[in-house]
Amino acid sequence: MDDETGDRRTARIADVAQLAGVSTATVSRALTAPGQLRAATLARVMEAVRSIGYTPNVAARSLRARRTMLVLVVVPDIANPFFADVLRGIDEELSAHGYGLLIGNLARTRKKEPQLIGIVQSGQVDGVILLNGRVPEGLDRSMSDTGTPMVAVCEAIPGANFPQVGAQNREAAIEAVAYLVALGHRRLAYVAGPKDNVLERERRAGFLQGLRAAGIDRRQASIYPGDFTFAAGETAAQTFLSSPGRPTGVFAANDEMAIGFLKSVRAAGVSVPRDVSVVGFDGIAFADYVEPTLTTFRQPRRELGRQGAALLVEALSGAATATDAPHIRLPVPLVVRDSTGPAPVG
Amino acid sequence: MDDETGDRRTARIADVAQLAGVSTATVSRALTAPGQLRAATLARVMEAVRSIGYTPNVAARSLRARRTMLVLVVVPDIANPFFADVLRGIDEELSAHGYGLLIGNLARTRKKEPQLIGIVQSGQVDGVILLNGRVPEGLDRSMSDTGTPMVAVCEAIPGANFPQVGAQNREAAIEAVAYLVALGHRRLAYVAGPKDNVLERERRAGFLQGLRAAGIDRRQASIYPGDFTFAAGETAAQTFLSSPGRPTGVFAANDEMAIGFLKSVRAAGVSVPRDVSVVGFDGIAFADYVEPTLTTFRQPRRELGRQGAALLVEALSGAATATDAPHIRLPVPLVVRDSTGPAPVG
DNA sequence: AGAAAAACTGTAATCGATTACATTTTCACT
DNA sequence: AGTGAAAATGTAATCGATTACAGTTTTTCT
C-alpha cells in the first residue's frame, strides 16, 4: 500500500512559472494569448512547459474561464449507424475548433433526460446539439438560464427559435413519387414511420403532395404503418402481399423498412423490380449490398453533422445572436439502383 | 446589446446555504453524503436546492474533488456501426455509475493522438477505454503520471498490464473451419484482414489451426488478402473466380468482406451455397438481410462494451490494483443461416 | 535626450465547490 | 442530572487556473 511516491501530482502552472522565472500570469498568457508576450519571454515559457511536460488542468481553467470547450450531443440511439455518421461530421467540425464531444445517449427512452439537463445546468458543456428532434422537458429553461446555445440537427423542431440543419425530406419524397410515376407506376404505396416523428411527417406530406402533383387520387394509394425498423418493412410486406391489386411502386420512409420489405416480398416469390419497384430513404451503406441493390435517397449525414456543428461554433464564438436563427435544408440526391424499373404492363 | 439582466449567473452553493440557514459545507454534504446529515437538516437543504433549482458547478467540483466523472473512449472510427454497438454497452454501464462519456475519435489516423493525450494529462477524465487495439504513443506515460486507469476492449493489446475484454477470435475461427469441414468442404479459403491487426492475427491463427485439426494441408488452402472492407471482399471474389479448382468453403475475417464476396461471386453466376459456402465474422445487422442470409459469428458487441466499462468502474472505485489484470474473453456463437451448405459432390 | 504612448509583466482576487479540522449538539448510560 | 462518546455542523483553507488592475519596460516621437 505504499508504492505511492508521495507527490504524484502533475505539474502546475506555478512550477512552470518558477522554472521560467516569470509569474503565473505570464505562463497563462503564453498558453492562451501568445501574441501578447515578447518573443523571448514566450520562448522561455514554452521551453519550460515542454521540459516539465505541463498541461493546464481543465477543471481549474473551466472554473475560472467559465467555459469547458465541451459540447453535449443528444443522440436518440447511439447504436444507430445513421447517427454514427452524423456524429462523425460533428466531431470533425468541433474538434477542428478545439471542442470536445460529450455523448448524451437517450437510449430510446426519456428516462435519461433529467440527467442531460443536469449536464447543461451544471455548466459542464458550452453548447448542445440535438439529434433527437425534440427538446427534452425543461432543457429550454436550463439553456436560457445558463445562456447555453443549442442547435438541432437532422430532425427539425417545429417552432423552435434556434439554428437547425435538416434534409429536404418533403422535396425528396415528392421526387420519389414523380420518379415512380415517370416509370409508369400508378398504384403506389408508402411505408410510413412513427406518426409522431417529424421526418415521417415531412416525408408523408411529400408523398401525398407527389400524388396530387401526378393527379393520382389519394384513396388509390396505400399507406402501410411502420416504425423505421426492418420488422416494420416485413409487416408491410405481408399487408402488401395479401392486398388485391397490389401496388407496383413502393416508397419506404427509410432504408431499413425498404430492405425488410424487399426481403419479405421476394421470399414470397414477388420479383423486384419486375413486379414491384421499391424506393428507400437514407442511403445507408447496406442499401448497395442487398439484392437487388436499393434505389434510395442519400442523406448527407456527415454534412448534416458538420453544418450543425458549424452553426453551434458560430453561436459559441459570441456572434451576436442573429434576430432569426438559420434553418438550413440540405438537398437529398436520388440514387437509382436496381430495385426500381418500369411498371409492369397491365 | 443590453438585454442581459446583469446577474444571469446561476445559483451557487452559498445561495442554497443561506436559504436553508446552514453552511455551505452542509449543503455540499447533503448532495454528496446525505447519510451524514440529520433527516430534518437534509430535508431543509434539499427543499432549498429544489426551490432555487441548484445544480453544483461541475468544474468547481472536479477541481476540488480531483475527479471529473468522465471517461474517455478512444474509438478508431466513430462511423463504424460495430463500435456504435460497443459504445452503447459502455454507455449503459458507465451512466449507471454516474460517469459520462467523452468521445475521442481517431478518425482512422494517428494525427489526433496528441490531443487525446492532452485530455488525459489535463485531468479531464478519470479513466480511459481503448477500442483501437493500440496504446497511443505516450499515453502510457500520461496514464501513470496521472494515475488514470485504462482498459482495452475488443482488440487485445499484447503484453499490456491493464484489464482487457475481447472475443474468443481464435476459438471461433477454429470452429468456422470445423463447421465447414463437417459439411464436407475440403478446399477452403480465408479472406484476411490487415496484417498488423490483432483480430486478424487471432482469426488467421484459428483458421490455420482449424486446418491442422482437420488434417488439411495448409498449402491446399487459399488466403486472400483483405482489409475488412466490402471492396476487399469483392477483390477476393475476383481472385476466387479466376482460380483453378475453386475453394468450396470460404471464411472471411469479417462480415463486410463476406458480403462483398457474396455479392461479387453471385454476380458472376456462382451459386451460394450450392457452389460455395461463405462464413462471415461479427454478426452485423445486415448479415441477416443479404441474399442469401449470411452464416456468421455473432460478436457480443454490447456485452464487450459493458464488461469493459465494468472493469474500468471497478478500477475507478479504488479497488486495490489486483496484481494481475483480468483478461476476459467472451465466446462468439456461430449463427447458421443460408450462405452455407453441404459441399458440392466431386 | 526626454516625455508620452504602447507594450509587457506582475500581484492578487476570483471562479464555486470540497473537506480537514474545530466546534457544537445529541445520545446512551450510570 | 452528569458524563463521555458519537454524531452533526461550521469555519476556512484549498484545488489550479484566469484576468482586472497596477506597475514596469520598451518604443515612438519631437
- Give pLDDT tens digits for B20-46: 999 999 999 999 999 999 999 999 999
When pLDDT is cut at 50, 70 and 90, the band that residue A34 belongs to is very high
When pLDDT is cut at 50, 70 and 90, the band that residue B323 belongs to is low
List the grid coordinates of B211: 486446418
**Cα–Cα dist A114/A135, whole Å:** 12
pLDDT number for residue A7 = 47
Cβ-defined contact of B63 to A68 (cutoff 8 Å): no
- Taking a C-beta distance cutoff of 8 angstroms, is the pair A151, A125 a contact? no
Check residues 63 to 92 of chain A and report those whose beta carbon is under 7 Å from nucleic acid strand C: 63-64, 66
- Residues whose CB falls within 8 Å of the CB of residue B43, separated by 6 or more in sequence, listed in order: none
Query: Which nucleotides on strand D sit less than 7 A from a protein beta carbon?
Result: 7-12, 14-20
Q: Nearest CA to B199 among B76, B18, B109?
A: B76
pLDDT number for residue B338 = 97
Residue B6 has pLDDT above 50, yes or no: no
Long-range contacts, stretch B7-14, CB < 8 angstroms, 24+ apart: B8/A145, B8/A147, B10/A121, B10/A123, B10/A145, B10/A146, B10/B55, B11/B52, B11/B53, B11/B54, B11/B55, B12/B54, B12/B57, B13/B54, B13/B56
Q: What's the gap between Cα B275 and its chain centre?
A: 35
- Tell me the CA–C1' distance in angstroms for A316 and C7: 30
> Which sign, positive or negative, has the C-alpha torsion B108, B110, B115, B120?
positive
From residue B207, alpha-carbon distances to B48, B214, B238 in Å are 65, 11, 21
Cβ-defined contact of B84 to A81 (cutoff 8 Å): yes
Give strand letter and number of the nucleotide nearest A36 (CA to C1'): C8
Q: Which of A291, A299, A301, A302 to mutate to test the interface with B (most CBs of B within 10 A)?
A: A291
From residue A201, alpha-carbon distances to A15, A23, A194, A251, A332 in Å are 60, 61, 9, 14, 16
Residue B108 has pLDDT above 80, yes or no: no
Closest CB from A58, A84, A122 relative to B84: A84
More confident residue, B121 or B161: B121
Burial of A304: CB neighbours in 10 Å, binned 0-12, 13-18, 19+? buried
Average pLDDT of the residues in A170-175: 98
List the grid coordinates of B225: 488478402
Highest-pLDDT range among A4-13, A152-161, A249-258: A249-258
Give strand letter and number of the nucleotide nearest B38 (CA to C1'): D8
Is the pTM higher than 0.85? The answer reads yes
List the grid coordinates of B309: 466499462
CA distance A53 to chain B (A): 9
- Taking a C-beta distance cutoff of 8 angstroms, is the pair B132, B74 a contact? yes
- Tell me the CA–C1' distance in angstroms for B21 and D6: 24
Residue A3 has pLDDT above 60, yes or no: no
List the grid coordinates of B306: 459493458
CB atoms inside a 10 Å sphere around CB A97: 15
Q: Nearest CA to A10 among A46, A45, A54?
A: A54
CB atoms inside a 10 Å sphere around CB A271: 12
Query: Which nucleotides on strand C sit less than 7 A from a protein beta carbon?
Result: 7-12, 14-20
- Residues whose CB falls within 8 Å of the CB of residue A2, separated by 6 or more in sequence, listed in order: none
Reduce the DSSP state of residue B8 to 3 states and report it: coil
- Tell me the CA–C1' distance in angstroms for B36 and C23: 17
Reduce the DSSP state of residue A9 to 3 states and report it: coil
Q: Is the peptide bond before A194 cis (omega within 30 degrees of 0)?
A: no
What residues 240-299 of chain B have any CB closer than 8 A to a CB of chain A?
Answer: 259-260, 263, 266, 285-286, 289-291
From residue A272, alpha-carbon distances to A233, A338, B206, B224 in Å are 15, 8, 40, 33
B64 touches strand C (CB under 7 A): yes
**Cα–Cα dist A325/A321, whole Å:** 8
Cβ-defined contact of B58 to A124 (cutoff 8 Å): yes
Residue B289 has pLDDT above 90, yes or no: no
Cβ-defined contact of B10 to A145 (cutoff 8 Å): yes
**Cα–Cα dist A106/A115, whole Å:** 10
- Tell me the CA–C1' distance in angstroms for A318 and D20: 21
Check residues 198 to 237 of chain B and report those whose beta carbon is under 7 Å from nucleic acid strand C: none
B322 touches strand C (CB under 7 A): no
Q: Nearest CA to A116 among A147, A144, A98, A140?
A: A140
Average pLDDT of the residues in B62-89: 92
Chain B CB contacts of A83 under 8 Å are 84
Average pLDDT of the residues in B2-24: 77
B36 touches strand D (CB under 7 A): yes
Q: Nearest CA to A59 among B167, B75, B56?
A: B56
SS (H, E, C) B255-304: HHHHHHHHHHHHHCCCCCCCCCEEECCECCHHHHCCCCCCEEEECCHHHH
Q: Which of A8, A32, A58 to mutate to test the interface with B (most CBs of B within 10 A)?
A: A58
Chain B CB contacts of A56 under 8 Å are 122
Q: Nearest CA to A327 among A157, A97, A120, A103?
A: A157
- Contact of A111 with chain B, judged by CB distance below 8 Å, is answered with no
Residue B328 has pLDDT above 60, yes or no: yes
